[in-house]
Amino acid sequence: MTTEGTIEKKSQISAIRGMEDILPALARHYQFVEGQARELFDRYGYGEIRTPVLEPTELFARTVGDSSDIVVSKQMYTFTDPGERSNTMRPEGTAGVVRALIESGLLKETSQQKLFYVGPMFRYEKPQKGRQRQFTQIGMELFGVAHAAADAEVITMCYHLLRRVGFNDIVVKLNNLGDPGDRKGFNDRLREAILEVVASARESGKYAEWCEQWQDLAAINPMRVFDTKVEECRPYLSSLPRVVDYVGEEARNHFDVVTALLAQAGVPFEVDRELVRGLDYYTRTVFEIVQTGLGAQNAILGGGRYDNLVEELGGPPTPAVGMAIGVERLIMAMQAQGIKLPPSPPPAFYVLALDDESLPTAYRLAELARSSGQRVAFDCQPKSAKAGLRSANRSKAQIAVIVGADELSRGVAQWKNLESGEQIELLMAEIERNLKEG
């Protein structure tokens, strides 16, 4: 306020970089996708779990892994709270769900748990198309089943969810990362092979920036070289060993059952021997679904098996498999592919008060229709007939009910069909009956 009592013009405040507002037209997409997901989860017997956005930092330090993208690229929103505890805004949902299950004792009670969640996740990444610092995941996790049918069920559900929201050409990319013992031998061999490639690039005068990245990855997470976005180094990938050649018999058989079950369910898939994931906790099956129209960030969902995570967090030995969809990316892909939402139905009635005197009656009529289950547009202020009818037409309602002081004094209201333009005067009792019946 100024000394004259007027309000000074203030500067505007913008949203934080990488965090977006979801305005009503876009929110309809989120509601649609979420609604489809909830129906599907219900059909398969998955119950909802809601965990806090904020968790102790140690939870993610122990789960996502020292060599994960999240830890290596310092993507965590971490801060010390007033009680001097280190907290982190969750970068993903799996860790919190596992913590909650162990803490609540639910894992001990029954042999399996099928859960889903929907909510915001936070990663301090460099924002670009399809990559935000706050984004929404719809995820699901199946605990307590070591059988390959669990992997197949989660993947099959991903496929059906994408079909339900309107995608046609869906191919699930799958890979088998083996068990931790298999991976150890593979990682050692891969590390050596990467360093050999870098040394020969140096000798032949082709040493470039990607060589440095490869050297760094060899030290922290050699498998991530397969995820390179640098075209120049792609030809060298073919000379590197593949994880599949190091996978033990049990994990190989497991993967064969997963693919056989997917074939049974008619889910189109493709084994991609270069598929790796940005999080460290996976064992055996990993998968992703990519879509066009998203630029470099083309994975709309990803997941896999993680049989050791529950124990890592102090729980009982519990096999598990799960996935998460990035809702923003899913919606972008829907828009890029011209997938339309089902139209939202217009209101049945538009109720118009022409003056202050008739507003209480108009208000009562609108409420009467709404409590009978009708969708009603009401502007919460009197309007002239001209402005009111303009607004009524914009609302796309079929019928306008118009009340002014004159109608009020005669116990009637106007009933106007907005499609045909026909207008009749009806007794208030008849109007009330029509509004209730719709």
Based on the shown chain and the rule CB under 6 A, indicate whether residue 329 belongs to the binding site for ligand HAM.
Answer: yes
Residue 338 and residue 379: Cα distance in Å, rounded?
33
Determine, following the binding rule CB under 6 A, whether residue 151 of this chain makes contact with ligand HAM.
no
Whole-angstrom distance, CA of residue 113 vs CA of residue 101 = 9
Minimum distance from CB of 132 to ligand HAM (Å)? 4
Residue nearest to ligand HAM (CB): 326
SS3 345: coil
Stretch binding ligand HAM (CB under 6 A), from 110-118, 325-333, 348-356, 425-433: 325-333
Please, what is the minimum distance in Å from the beta carbon of residue 305 to ligand HAM?
8
Applying CB under 6 A, among 65, 96, 178, 302 the residue interacting with ligand HAM is 302
Q: How far is the CB of 83 from ligand HAM (least distance, A)?
A: 28
The least distance separating ligand HAM from the CB of residue 66, rounded to whole angstroms, comes to: 16
Asked if 93 is part of the footprint of ligand HAM (rule: CB under 6 A), the reply reads yes
Contact in structure between 181 and 188 (CB atoms under 8 Å)? no
Scored b (16 or more CB within 10 A) or e, 218-255 reads beebbbbbbebeeeebeebeeebbebbebbeeebeebb
Q: How far is the CB of 214 from ligand HAM (least distance, A)?
A: 22
Q: Total residues contacting ligand HAM (rule CB under 6 A)?
A: 26
Q: Which token pair is 285?
A: 């099956």
The answer to whether residue 65 forms part of the interface with ligand HAM (CB under 6 A) is no
Residues 111-130 that bind ligand HAM (CB under 6 A): 123, 125
CB of 388 to ligand HAM, least distance (A): 44
- Judged by CB under 6 A, the residue of 55, 141, 179, 307 near ligand HAM is 141
Structure tokens at 57: 């930092």
Concatenated DSSP letters of 256-315: HHHHHHHHHTT--EEE-TT---SSTT-EEEEEEEE-SSSTT--EEEEEEE-TTHHHHTT-
Q: At 110, which helix (H) or strand (E)?
A: none
361 lies in the binding site for ligand HAM (CB under 6 A)? no
Q: Which two tokens stand for residue 286?
A: 């990993």
* Residues 194/187, Cβ–Cβ less than 8 Å: no
d(CA 100, CA 313): 11
Residues binding ligand HAM (CB under 6 A): 92-94, 123, 125, 131-132, 135, 137, 139, 141, 278-279, 299-304, 306, 322-324, 326, 328-329
